[in-house]
Chains A and B, each alone.
Chain A
Amino acid sequence: MTEILQYVHKDGLFHRMAPVTKILFVVVISAISIFSIRIPFLIAVLIGLLLLAYLGNVLSELFRQFVLLVVMGIIMLALAVITLPNGETIGYLVPQGVPVIGGIVPVTTGGISLGIIMALRFAVLVLAVQIFVISTQPRDLVHTLERMRVPIDFTLMFVIALRFIPTLQIEGTRIQEAQLARGYNPGKGFIGKVRSLVPIMVPLVSNALVRANTLGLTIDMRGYRTRKRTVLRERVLRSADKAAIFLIAAGFILFIWLYLAKAV
């Protein structure tokens, strides 16, 4: 089963970095990709990210989401072309020769470039967050966010949501198998997915609610919400982290300078 958004225990560039360095990395990359409207620059950021992922030994994990990125990219491109026509018209989704409806939905250069920008932004954001999640132990993340004074309830919510993705995937498959064995045939495609919601989602959600109760008790009994933590195996900022933070900061300043000069 493909595991999405899970910490993977291995050694690599990102795994050795302190969480705070990686949080800064994700924030800066996100800001850059949101502000930039230049396609070549966004492509360069994307390639840079993939290169870093390769150097950090996490490229194979990233590629598991490749299909998702491509599908979402195509959807974004289509949405932008259909809903935001702008600039020169270079053709029509429905050819002009078709009677009655011919010539509707113009394909414009503005729509295409906006669609590509959105798709690239999405890819950069998803990949940056993925690199972060794959390389950061949830425990380190909890500690870091705690030090940054993020309330523990929010942090645990985030960590637990990630942790239960594979468990719910496995459980969902089991429920689906149980219903299929009862002769259930929701049919294929979109309609099938919608029809399968009740017999699959009701048991999944009911079981998750029962589990949430036990989970809450477990967290409280471990003293997570009330007690102070012993400082242990702390991820201190090493010289590599400091160098990385310096590079990230320098890169960001360079970006702002180029952005103001309208170069990116």
Chain B
Amino acid sequence: MIELESVRYGYPHTKNDAIKDVTLKVGQGTCVMVTGPSGAGKTTLCLAAAGILAHEYGGRKGGTVTIDGRNVNEFKDLSELASRIGVVFDDPDAQLIFTTVEEEILSALERRGLSADEIEERLRTVMEITHLSALKDRAPHTLSGGQKQRVVLATTLALGTDILILDEPTSELDEHGTTSILGILKDLKARGRTILLVEHKFQRMQEIVDTLIVMEGGSIRAKGQPADLLGDPGIRQIVVPDFAGIRQNGRAAGAGPVPVISLDRLSHSYGDIPALTDVSLSISPGEFVAIVGENGSGKTTLIKHFNGLLRPTAGTVSVRGKDTSGATITELAHDVGLVFQNPDHMFFADTVRDEVAFGPANLGIQDLETVIDRALGKVRLLPAKGLYPRWLSRGERQRLAIACVVAMNPAIIVLDEPTTGLDGKEAREVMEVLKDLQLEGHTVIIVTHSKEIARDVADRVVTMERGRVISDQAVPEGS
């Protein structure tokens, strides 16, 4: 059981507290799910509940945190805290230290004062629960996101604690990966574990959630049984992504004579491994296309061909009527803007303004200040112009990444998973921005795991499986 009583915390060198007056209780054997916009203090709440803030962080602290009735300050160190609680942080890569899956799990087991037999037994059980037996000799960098997340979960389970704290364990996972984590959590709850879960995917997780907490601006905005809270429309829009009505705002004027992107029997292999096979696709100007499919189905490989980051092993790619085989990536960047899944892979400048200026300056676009202001206005980030990009919340960083590409004014804007790590409201805001861009005449192509986006926003849904397009459907008008 975890109890937080009027907990307050401010990071060193910051003015505002990251969490304010938070009181909550995670009862024995229950699952409490915390959700809310990025920057609401959810991760800080996890660190507070785990006792990590008390032991490892400076800054301004207040209130009390108890684990099974014992104040976290009374624990000697993190290692002692870890005998009661297990924490899964949001970046799986940062939690994998060794070079095989089995070593990783053993590393969590061998310093807990167990006998060798007990360790072998627990290793077997944990690998069974997390379905990792077949992967035991694999190196972390060869695993998919979902597999890595399962390994991290396994090492945390190996600690054998009754309480689990998980910070967005499924944010980068596809449908299949999320289902697999949900299955494991369901199993753990049935075994009586206490779970504090930070998540955005309430609809997927609702069957295990007893109490829902919605955070905003560092405080608890609402707390209670999910059914009661969702009656409030303000809460509902944060918890449940709802893109209804976005498509009805208008559709692109019919297909033009020349497709903006045309793929003819495109194939691509990484060494001997085929990633795309015989993909033919034609995208018209002004379309809003969603590309869906499981991890590893070839979606990202496909979109990297649009701007020349990858070149076909066989077949051709044409952008605005021109074969791309002779064009450089810089030339193609005039026509195709690509926003990657993780915005942190692009930010290097000291201010939001300089970050946005980078792309258009590279392309020699004139009148930079107007271009920058327009792009920032479009993603509603003008007030943040002078800030350091990495200080922004995840939702703001995602919109900044879009602004960086919009400022280059490409005819085609391609986005890889633009709603990763965002709550329902933020995801809707991003989709509204993209819809506006479409209405201005841009062609928008997004890769997404979200069924709702494919259903409620896109004009056309292309489904991929094992490197092939298995379905390509226009969404009927007015649906």
Contact = CB atoms under 8 A, between A and B. Distances in A.
Contacts of B82: 220-223
Nearest to B341: A174
A217 B97 contact: no
Contact of A230 (B52, B56, B111, B348): B111
Contacts of A203: 344-348
Nearest to A170: B141
B214 interface: no
A211 B93 contact: yes
Given A177-B304, A227-B111, A184 B362 contact: yes
A224 B91 contact: no
Interface stretch (A23-31, A68-76, A155-163, A251-259): A155-163
Residue among B103, B107, B334, B405 facing the most chain A CB atoms (10 A cut-off): B107
Interface stretch (B114-122, B201-209, B428-436): B114-122
A214 B91 contact: yes
Nearest to B79: A223
For chain A, give the interface size range.
35 or more
Interface in A171-221: 171, 174-175, 177-185, 198-199, 202-203, 206-207, 210-215, 217-221
A212 B93 CA distance: 10
A7 B140 CA distance: 11
A183 B98 contact: no
B307 interface: yes
Interface in A35-55: none
A218 B106 CA distance: 14
Given A222-B108, A224-B111, A215 B346 contact: no
B181 interface: no
B338 interface: yes
A218 B89 contact: yes
B276 interface: no
Contacts of A83: none
Contact of B333 (A7, A174, A183, A231): A183
Nearest to A217: B52
Contacts of A175: 345-346
B113 to A, nearest CB: 7
B256 to A, nearest CB: 24
Given A185-B362, A203-B345, A214 B119 contact: no
A222 B99 contact: no
A115 B26 CA distance: 68
Interface in A108-136: none
Contacts, number: 178
Interface string B46-87: 000000100010000000000000000000011101100011
Given A163-B99, A178-B346, A221-B87, A184 B79 contact: no
Given A183-B362, A206-B390, A217 B304 contact: no
A102 B52 CA distance: 69
Contacts of B79: 220-223, 225-227
B128 interface: no
B119 A230 contact: yes
Nearest to A201: B348
B137 interface: yes
Contact of B99 (A137, A177, A224): A137
A232 interface: yes
Contact of B338 (A160, A181, A185): A181
B344 A182 contact: no
Contacts of B28: none
A149 interface: no
Given A182-B359, A185-B330, A220 B78 contact: yes
A230 B362 contact: no
A138 B93 contact: no
A6 interface: yes
Given A217-B78, A221-B78, A199 B358 contact: yes
Interface string B305-338: 0010100000000000000000011100110111
A139 B101 CA distance: 11
A85 interface: no
A159 B103 CA distance: 13
A147 interface: no
Contact of B100 (A137, A220, A230): A137
A201 to B, nearest CB: 8
A230 B94 contact: no
A239 to B, nearest CB: 23
Given A139-B107, A184-B358, A185-B328, 11 more contacts: A7-B100, A138-B97, A138-B99, A159-B97, A167-B141, A180-B329, A185-B362, A199-B348, A202-B347, A217-B89, A221-B86
Closest 5 CB pairs of A and B: A183-B362, A202-B348, A214-B94, A223-B111, A183-B333
